[in-house]
Structure 1
Amino acid sequence: MAGVDLPLVNEPAVNPEWVDDLLLGGPDATVRLRLDRPIDTAALRRSVALAGDRLRAEGLVAGGTVALRLPPSLTYIAFLLAAWRIGAQVSLLDHRLTQHEVDGALERIGAQYVVDALESKGHRLCGYAEVVARVSAREGGRPAGTAHALVQFSSGSTGASKVIARTSDDLIAELARYDRLPEFPRAGERVVLLSSIVHVLGLVGGLLNALHTGAELVFPRRLTAEGILAAVAESDLPTTIIGVPFHAELLTSIADPAPLPQLRRMIVAGELVRPSVPTRFRETFGVALGTMYGMTELGVIATDLDGTRWPSVEPTHGMDLRVSGGELWIAMPASPYLGAQDPSRFVDGWLCTKDAAELDAGLLTVLGRLDSQVSIGGLKVDLTEVEQAIAALPAVREAVVLYDGGIQAYLSLTDGATAEQVQAALTETLAPFKRPRRLVVLPALPRTTTGKVVRATAALVAAEAASR
């Protein structure tokens, strides 16, 4: 890939020193994480060292590759940091993916080792789990082909051109951008983290930034509105909640919550915030609902952390943005994509975000997506991936997938097939958050005069009404 130096085999895919220098420093007795119990710096270092011993015993070396498929847990954090300390390239897989999706992702990234859960204890709504990890060598795995430290999937584990890689220097630069945001939590403060640590906001803005600054990172016992507020109330330290707009709406659904003088603000990202939510949040809790705009490819790009610019955000230090034809482009030194990619996504040093936007007087206003990617509860879903998965089922003749307040699939079936068969098959091939909320079975999908399937929502709704 242009702009990336290829390391020799068994050379580090990541500068391992940055983990100790930026993430694991500080006094031994300082509490760094709070899950089922407080984890201080000394305990975190011990957990990372033990995870490193296990990875080395299985054969992971500098320049090797490992995929993590673990729920949020001390085990996840320890293995992530341990692999980076070894100098390996780490790929992150959402633990909620089906085995079908995981197999496809592993085939694409070629990880040599997989760390997953042999045992996992934790309520479905708990913000963390107690995990017994299993480290497995994977036949056909290969060493890192680039000097990237982190590999993520932006919108689905099998979506074309969505495998994104970042170097350790890139992650360090993003932490430096967070350092320039005075509203972001620091040492002596707490972060109640609701965002997934597999994805960029929870990973870098939540986990890595908290370890870097010394802020105490809290994973709630329950991801209910009451459980989140209880996590805030557990300490008198100034506290910031980090999540997605869904979480803000969940919290504002509580009538007359108890006063929380320690709540400093809530920060959300991942999708557009509905217009009524910022005002309602401030009226409910007396603090700002801050917003951020970012991408897996770059991390944090622009912010409005004190809620004074909404719906606009201000670009962070060093970000070079432009809007062309109503579409946002961002300067980057090299393409962030691994493997096959859409050539229109990165052109002459500029990343095409596929977001509609306006840039005025130095402020950015993001207007929405221009491609098929949508956000479901803060988790990215590519509608094309969902449509292809449905269309590939033996029971399905043709399908169109749209988003209209939720994922909806319009399809026609092969002779003798039923919607129940489709639903059952999708539980094996798609993660729950990707599955359509509605399956609408039609005798045939409407088509244009030239024979193309109609994708207009109104036409498909009319076809549904007519079929009744």
Structure 2
Amino acid sequence: MTRTLDVLPVDPRNPATLLDALEDAIAGQATYLPVPAHDRERTELLRRSQLAGQPISADVALVVATSGSTGTPKGAQLTPANLVASADATHHVLGGSGQWLLAMPAHHIAGIQVLVRSLIAGIDPLCLDVSAGFDVDKFAAAAGELAATGDRSYTSLAPMQLAKAMDTLAGIEALRAFDAVLVGGAATNPQLLRAAEDLRINVVTTYGSSETAGGCVYDGRPIPGAKVRVTGGRIHLGGPMIAAGYRNAPGHEAFAEDGWFATSDGGEISDGRLVVTGRLDAVIDTGGLKLHPEVLERELMLVDGVSHACVVGIPHPRFGQAVVAAYEGSATVSEVMENLDHLPRWQIPKDLRKVDALPLIGPGKVDRRAVAGLFQPVSD
């Protein structure tokens, strides 16, 4: 049985208006493609690439687009069972259902799942207006409103939002009020995580994607029902939250094994926990030596005065690619370079640049292509 894939515009000023549509989707009564109402270019791209208005299996509740950082966005086909399994497992891990504060765009899977969890719990969420970005004062006021109820409360943030909130006393107090703060979508600065622990902020790091109905690995361990394995250095995720393939790429090899999704990330299992080493398609090959950019990014973020960093490879006539990096923070370029002296020489950036803000694609996810565009090709 099929139905039509309907476009669902998401207003960043009032994402709570999605709740009725999401409830219909979870009940198997409609299939929606969430799109950002404020971004016409992105909306049109999603309409075309995900075949909006055309027939789709009635088993699909939502088609949630990937960030599209490597080209045309793919559309993960999520069933009601996928969404409910993820929401139920999250509440189980966190110690029970509670009221959620939505503080990120609701057309991305992380924001959608905040609303889905709220529907499953039967507790209305509190939603921030994120049309002008993440406002710490508004976040703190909303957190205080939730804390006043005395019930369990949760929120979900991107690493950059967490860092911004922790820059102010009001933000810190707000974060401490939550029973758990889920943080995912990108690697989190290890210094930030240590600071959060010292400040008694209960941060739970998450790993997952649109293809897995959101995060399915919390603090390195799979949530109930989820499965993790690493084969040939590639992370594979399994369980009831795995999407029913891609809308615009049927038969894609990532879903070749039933109930499993082969990610584009490399990793390893260490002491029973998943350690993500970085995207396999972002590996930099410089003179025959291969570097996961995330490895160097972690080293950069261990430097005092570096809050965020992005490492990319750019063309080099002799080595194939040269390692370059951009970062945010108060540290000077010379201070950062001094703190990288312990690394193998080939891993040290050939060009290091301080920027006011790294370009983003999606909530808290750095646009590596745009970062590469900041640099000129390296000559011999």
Secondary structure of the 2:56 match is coil
Q: Is 2:135 aligned against 1:201?
A: no
Q: Percent identity?
A: 21
1:358 to 268, 271, 281: 268
> 1:199 Cα shift?
1.7
Q: Is 2:203 aligned against 1:269?
A: no
Letter in 2 for 1:200: I
1:191 to 91, 94, 100: 100
Question: Given that residues 161 and 341 in structure 1 are in contact (C-alpha distance below 8 angstroms), is that contact kept between their aligned partners in structure 2?
Answer: no
> 1:367 Cα shift?
2.0
What is the distance in 2 between the residues matched to 1:431 and 1:356? Answer: 21
What is the distance in 2 between the residues matched to 1:271 and 1:227? Answer: 24
Query: Which structure: larger Rg?
Result: 1
Cα distance change, pair 282–167 in 1 and its aligned pair in 2 (3 A) = same
Secondary structure of the 1:181 match is helix
Q: Is 2:321 aligned against 1:321?
A: no
Cα distance change, pair 338–216 in 1 and its aligned pair in 2 (3 A) = closer
Letter in 1 for 2:266: A
1:264-316 per-position Cα deviation (integer Å, ceiling 9, x unaligned) = 332211111111011212334x2221111112111231113xxxxxxxx1111
Letter in 1 for 2:35: L
Query: More displaced, 321-330 or 338-347?
Result: 338-347
Letter in 1 for 2:273: L
- Structure 1 match to 2:165: 251
1:52-91 matches, within 5 Å, as 63-72=3-12, 73=14, 74-82=16-24, 87-91=29-33
> 1:171 Cα shift?
1.8
> 1:245 Cα shift?
0.9
Cα distance change, pair 438–97 in 1 and its aligned pair in 2 (3 A) = farther
1:60-92 per-position Cα deviation (integer Å, ceiling 9, x unaligned) = xxx222111222323333344356668221111
Question: Given that residues 25 and 62 in structure 2 are in contact (C-alpha distance below 8 angstroms), is that contact kept between their aligned partners in structure 1?
Answer: no
1:131-280 matches, within 5 Å, as 142-145=54-57, 147-156=59-68, 159-160=71-72, 162-183=74-95, 186=97, 189-204=98-113, 206-220=114-128, 223-234=134-145, 235-236=147-148, 237=150, 238-255=152-169, 259=173, 262-280=177-195
TM-score for both structures, normalised by structure 1? 0.55
- Structure 1 match to 2:197: 282
What is the distance in 2 between the residues matched to 1:225 and 1:256? Answer: 8
Secondary structure of the 2:118 match is helix
What is the distance in 2 between the residues matched to 1:80 and 1:216? Answer: 13
- Structure 2 match to 1:420: none
- Structure 2 match to 1:294: 208
> 1:320 Cα shift?
2.4
Gaps of 5+ in 2: 284-292, 295-311, 315-320, 328-360
Question: Given that residues 269 and 292 in structure 1 are in contact (C-alpha distance below 8 angstroms), is that contact kept between their aligned partners in structure 2?
Answer: yes
1:97 to 35, 39, 45: 39
What is the distance in 2 between the residues matched to 1:79 and 1:328? Answer: 33
Gaps of 5+ in 1: 1-6, 10-62, 113-141, 305-312, 376-382, 388-399, 407-429, 443-459
What is the distance in 1 between the residues matched to 2:159 and 2:206? Answer: 11
Root-mean-square deviation (CA, aligned residues, Å) is: 3.8
TM-score for both structures, normalised by structure 2? 0.66
1:358-387 per-position Cα deviation (integer Å, ceiling 9, x unaligned) = 113432122222225999xxxxxxx9xxx9
Divergent runs of 4+, >4 A: 82-86, 255-261, 332-335, 372-375, 430-435, 437-442
What is the distance in 2 between the residues matched to 1:369 and 1:245? Answer: 18
What is the distance in 2 between the residues matched to 1:173 and 1:354? Answer: 23
Question: Given that residues 98 and 431 in structure 1 are in contact (C-alpha distance below 8 angstroms), is that contact kept between their aligned partners in structure 2?
Answer: no
Secondary structure of the 1:202 match is helix
